[in-house]
Amino acid sequence: MRAFVADQDWLTVVQPPTHAADLNPVEGVWSLLRRCFLSNIAFTGPEHLIRTVRQGLRTIQNRSDLIDGCPEGAGLTLTSA
């Protein structure tokens, strides 16, 4: 991997700390899921939980305004090449 990265002049790789949840955009997705779809629910069983998680992830995926905030919340910016 180091050789590949070294050969790519356009690529900048930064090694984050071992555990840095606030720098991980995926944590923003899980936070949205917990806050908007999984709070205040008494699940009737594993199937109910799985169905609710899938539905919540689909909703987040289809709402670009929600998903766009996740990298920004981690201090990252998306740029086009």
Mean pLDDT, the chain, whole residue set: 82
Report the SS3 class of residue 61: helix
pLDDT of residue 52: 94
For the question of whether the overall pTM of this predicted structure is more than 0.75, the answer is no
pLDDT > 70? residue 50: yes
Phi-psi category of 75—alpha, beta or left, where left has phi over 0 and alpha has psi -120 to 50?
Answer: left
CA dihedral sign, ordered 81, 69, 62, 57: positive
**Which position has the higher pLDDT, 9 or 66?**
9
